[in-house]
Structure 1
Amino acid sequence: MALILHIDTATATGSVCLSRNGEVLETMENADQKDHAATITLFIQQLMKRHHIGPEALDAIAVSAGPGSYTGLRVGIATAKGLCYTWDKPLIGISTLQMMAAGMLQQLIREGTSAGDAYLVPMIDARRMEVFTAVYSTALEAVLPPQAMVLEPSSYGAVTGSKPAFFFGDGAAKWQASAIAVPDAFFPEYGISAAHMVPLAEKAFADKDFKDVAYFSPDYLKAFYFPRKT
């Protein structure tokens, strides 16, 4: 059981969360991706001040490790690593897609929707018809590993159709029209939040599953594209 600071800047919405013993104390969010570098450290200061928490009280710092926005991931991970160095705290890296699956599972439970034996399919917009995605069971185990996928009508055919599937995230709308023929496909609203990594980070802390602060880097899933001038 631990007091953990959580940081997520993988997508357009950046957020910071404090949790104690697996329970969320408070979360602050910013929906303007251009401001992540300016707001994340401010959020951290405000949260810790409001809850009378000094750096010495923290047990670990968790950060969404990707995939997602190249710039956003660098901001979040650089911030987390800097704090870990300065405050001598262990670093926990959480897959952004698995974090989203955990958040959707929590949302379905709150809404009284029985996820049962279903698939959770987070989708992050990667421009054009490409998304970062994975398929998880309700035990948050990867059925289809995280990957960059160019969407086609047959996408997810190998794992969907046999049970209900919840598609969500800012990339889900791209595929919604193509999924009409997929039985039991649902597209619930979803808002990403650092609070969604709390149960995963709590487990990682208990398992002492920490990252090497010196060498930890974002999980981009694909190389960054630099357009060449002609």
Structure 2
Amino acid sequence: MLILSIDTSTTVCSVALHQINETTAQNPEKARLLGSYELFTERTSSAMLTTLISDVVRHSGHDLQQLDAIAVAKGPGSYTGLRIGVSTAKGLCFALDKPLIAINTLEAMAAQVRPWITSTNADSTLPILCPMLDARRMEVYCALYGEANTVVMPTSAKIVDEQTFTDVLDRNPVVFFGDGADKCRPVLSDHSNARFLAQLIHPSARTVGELAGVAFVERRFEDVASFEPFYLKDFMTTKPKKASV
């Protein structure tokens, strides 16, 4: 199986191409990565994303018709970014008559970190993972994942204070990461079970593609016509003030 994956959840725009069989699909981290591109920019455009997709497929020695599925990070994340990624993925699915696979952005972030956490905590209790994406001010998009990426707390938007994760932190070590974690550090780091990764973890099409292999084998496809990004909350705009008369 050839799976093209797309992630435009944040300011990092990424695409990846994986070759996956039924064996590697059950061990996502062993999927064969054929190529990937990441673009770190403040603004992602449809043209930029289309160019990356064309390049990763062509430079890997394939063409779009050879793809077996298109995978996309469905959110949460940037409203504009998600809209661009999902609309591009749906357009490819329609044009190529390929199935669409949608992967939760936070789940993919947890899967990205889990192998490293497992290897460094081989002889101790594995911590719960809490990927966080900045949702402005003190609000974050977050979720909690246990071993094998089992969901401990579903994806939600939270305003973080000293009490937000107390019930979980009192029972387990929790590793916080992602671009929303730094602003939460001052209010959570005093708890002895709170851990923060030193490196900034960005959502990546590489991990989206790995998880998409499992979804492909299990035939977890989306309805291309009706699928919408997982925005989690309504898009907020600032209305201009009316001029005084």
With normalisation by structure 1, the TM-score equals: 0.94
Give 2:144's aligned amino acid: V
Q: How does 1:114-129 map to 2 (within 5 A)?
A: 114=121, 116-129=125-138
Tell me the residue number matched to 1:156.
165
Backbone CA RMSD of aligned residues: 1.4
The CA deviation at 1:68 is 0.3
Give the share of equivalent positions with the same residue, in percent.
Answer: 41
Give 2:86's aligned amino acid: I
Tell me the residue number matched to 1:136.
145
Q: 66-75 or 43-52: which moved more?
A: 43-52
Tell me the residue number matched to 1:226.
237
Q: Distance in 2 between matches of 1:131 and 1:186?
A: 17
Tell me the residue number matched to 2:69.
60
Q: How does 1:194-213 map to 2 (within 5 A)?
A: 194-213=205-224
Q: Which runs of 4+ in 1 moved over 6 A?
A: none
Q: In structure 2, which of residues 91, 107, 120 is the aligned counterpart of residue 113 of structure 1?
A: 120
Is the 8 Å Cα contact of residues 3 and 60 (structure 1) preserved in structure 2? yes
Is the 8 Å Cα contact of residues 131 and 148 (structure 1) preserved in structure 2? yes
Q: Distance in 2 between matches of 1:70 and 1:140?
A: 25
Q: Distance in 2 between matches of 1:106 and 1:33?
A: 29
Structure 1 gap ranges (5+) = none
Q: 17-26 or 100-109: which moved more?
A: 100-109
Query: Relative to structure 1, is the Cα distance of residues 12 and 74 closer, same or farther in structure 2, using a 3 angstrom cutoff?
Result: same
Is the 8 Å Cα contact of residues 103 and 197 (structure 1) preserved in structure 2? no
Structure 2 gap ranges (5+) = 21-30
Which of 1 and 2 has greater Rg?
Answer: 2
Answering whether residue 194 of structure 2 is matched by residue 193 of structure 1, we say: no
The CA deviation at 1:108 is 3.2
The CA deviation at 1:97 is 0.7
Answering whether residue 21 of structure 2 is matched by residue 13 of structure 1, we say: no
1:94-137 CA deviation, whole Å, 9 max, x = no partner?
0001011111113435xx41275320100000011111001011
Answering whether residue 106 of structure 2 is matched by residue 97 of structure 1, we say: yes
SS in structure 1 opposite 2:148?
coil
The CA deviation at 1:229 is 2.1
